[in-house]
Amino acid sequence: MKTKLALILALVLSCIALNADVKVPAIFGDNMVLQLGRPVPVWGTAAPGEQVTVTFAGQTKTATAGADGKWRVNLDPLKVSKEPRALTIAGSNTLRFNNVLVGVVWLCSGQSNMEWTLQKSQDGDKEIANSSHPLIRLFHVKKTWSDTPRDDVVLENAWVSAGPDTTPKFSAVGYFFGRALLKAFKEDVPVGLINSSWGGTRIEPWTSPVGFTGIPALADINARIQSVTPGSESNKTLTAQALADHEAWLAASRAAAASGKPVAPPPEFPKALLPLSADNTSRPQQNPTVIYNAMIAPLVPFSIQGVIWYQGEANRADGSLYYDKLNALAASWRAEFENPALPIHIAQLAPFKYNDTTSLPEVWAAQERFARDDKYSGIAIINDVGNINNIHPTDKLTVGTRLARIALNKTYGFTQVKCDSPAPSEIKFTADAAVITFANAAKLDTRDGGAPNWFEIGNAGGWRKAAATINGNIVTVRADGVTNPAAVRYAWSGIAEPNLRDAESGLQVGAFTHGEIPPPPEIARIGADAAGFQVLYDLSPLSSTGNEVAYSVDNAAKFTGKKIKRVAYYLGLVSEDGDTTWAFVSLDPFSQDAKKLGVPTKNSGARFQQNVANLVVRSNVSGVKTGSFKQGNIEFWDCNYSAANGAKVAGASDSVNDFGDTMNTTVSPGYGCMQIHNTAQKQTIFAYNNWRMGKNADIGIGNQPAGAKRRPDWTFSKSASKLQSARLLVLVKTE
């Protein structure tokens, strides 16, 4: 018996000894690069109380493992070294990492365009064949997520030297960035690249909890994180209430069972206490913090020089809110990597043909604003690298090289390396033009030798395509028929691949918008009936194509939560001959959801075929009955429809498309219908149908004039093709 106990004791002691081995995270290994010029943390685990000694480059540092087994030392700032040296970590056992260099280390992160591999990129085979660079070292993190911070990453590949056998599946943007740095450093400074990226992911999963604190626009995300953070006030309150509820249920259940009565079901576990991954179980990696926990936290606090970030496609719908999320990411990683000045250089998204054309410009503006406001960071404009039909432009060389230019200039002080794209420094309006002076360029030209394209200019008549001329670093923008311009914009479309650039560096001008389109003069002349309204949406129908319309102004967020007491619509049309017709109609709101008051696209969720009350109609179109009317109806939907009077609207035709048609929800998004009718007059006040066709949409005021195929609601008319311009305003009046 004693022998058996002795064997068991020996086995237990041997397991303890094994668990006492000194260990470090996978970021430490053979062939790694350590960051020069900054303290270099080295950390890991050992037996509680065990002394650990770290030796490298003539330095020896010691630490004692705490009660939790964790230890850490900071090596003093290191000098650059191409000499392969060993780093040793000794305790009860000794770890030795060989071929360690000292240089610069960059984290390459984001979604699929950062993940995009060298082998799938333009001239990939050629680039791979020439990728032998012993001073570039690559480290690749495997894609995974976690609800709680992990101590180590799952490895795709540990540290390796760049070469034809190691570069094919590495980030192409990361590789080209590192190669450009190495060349600029004249092969004297090793470059370490950590690829931690995941296609299709949002920015929130990459951000640690600390990033969401103190940003009012992200308070809802922060509140959710705090609810599952042990020790936080909200978590303690929620936990205490959940326990109290279950204790009360237990007491009541025991009493019921003792008296032979049925036991009620237990109270539902609070959703706020469920892990963050429970908020999106189909794609758990999209929840806040979960990728940070698995793919960044295990790297912290490894000393790095900075970050290159190529992400945003998955956050395209965020618009200006993406600015706040970039700030959250920056605050997060600066705190976690213990570097308040950590640069985060971002690649602006490339043009792509989404269902709408305005969401990308809004994100572009958010990205540029972040780079402008953050003194440590920069942005690479890449609107010339792609193919609007390919969300993954294969020209990653340009992207990586432009990011390297930013790092060389802003991070390393190579001021002779030009990195900032030309941007407007002054915009003046004359009687018929916008005169734009650009900073960061002494002389502008175009990459195709043609006139600058993708400029628009606008006044009260809306936006018009404009012509532009260059004089040094000044561009003058004009459009026929536009006087007293109040706004100008450039490349303000998700499919814009513009040509304006700096003549010296070739750096492209990024999208921008300046000024505001004033309300049409007709609205001011209407007087009291139009007073007090604010712009909810502004749309140029002829330039908007796709199932989702391209608003030039989208103030939906501004009116969220406000009580809407009136809604109004203004449609102004300019014919080929220059004649302007217009209609204004206000009515009681048929929805308090601002998104459902605009064009009823698929994403808006608006489908209405119903009566509306208290219409006020004003128009300069002959035959449109103006005045006040107690009732009308609307037909707002994204789907197909037929002429049958399915809603049994009094007086409507059962065979002609008018104010009483039938929705066909089996085709969605489909033809699309946005119509307001004065049913008592059997009249269409205005119609905007088939908006995805842009210049060939169906748009009109009043009933369509009689003809061989007359349809009062303008269905199938393609009437937009006969217009110079059109403007649709959605206005609201709030309490």
- For residue 691, give every residue at least 6 positions away whose Cβ sits within 8 Å of its Cβ, in sequence order, or none: 541, 544, 549, 599, 601, 672, 674, 697
Cα maximum dimension of the chain: 110
State the pLDDT at residue 547.
85
State the pLDDT at residue 524.
86
3-class secondary structure, 506: coil
State the pLDDT at residue 140.
98
Q: Which of 328, 728, 325 is nearest to 554 (CA)?
A: 728
State the pLDDT at residue 272.
94
CA separation for the pair 138, 163 (Å, rounded): 10
3-class secondary structure, 51: strand
Beta bridge partners, 34, equal 102
Structure tokens at 288: 């806040």
Amino acid, single-letter form, for residue 575? S
Q: How many CB atoms lie under 10 A from the CB of residue 265?
A: 7
Tell me 670's DSSP state: -
- pLDDT tens profile 333-390: 999 999 999 999 999 999 999 877 778 999 999 999 999 999 999 999 999 998 999 9
State the pLDDT at residue 18.
45
State the pLDDT at residue 358.
78
What does each C-alpha distance from 165 to 105, 130, 396, 588 come to in angstroms?
21, 11, 19, 68
- pLDDT tens profile 422-468: 999 999 999 999 999 999 999 999 999 999 999 999 998 888 999 99
State the pLDDT at residue 251.
95
Structure tokens at 651: 């007086």
State the pLDDT at residue 707.
62
Amino acid, single-letter form, for residue 362? E
CA separation for the pair 64, 62 (Å, rounded): 7
Amino acid, single-letter form, for residue 605? G
Beta bridge partners, 184, equal none
Q: Which long-range contacts (CB under 8 A, 24 or more apart) does 550-557 make?
A: 550/356, 550/357, 550/358, 550/493, 551/358, 551/598, 552/358, 552/463, 552/492, 552/517, 553/516, 553/517, 554/319, 554/358, 555/594, 556/594, 556/595, 556/598
In this prediction, the residues of the chain whose per-residue pLDDT falls under 70 are 1-19, 707-709
Query: Before 521, cis peptide (omega within 30)?
Result: no
Are the beta carbons of 204 and 277 closer than 8 angstroms?
no
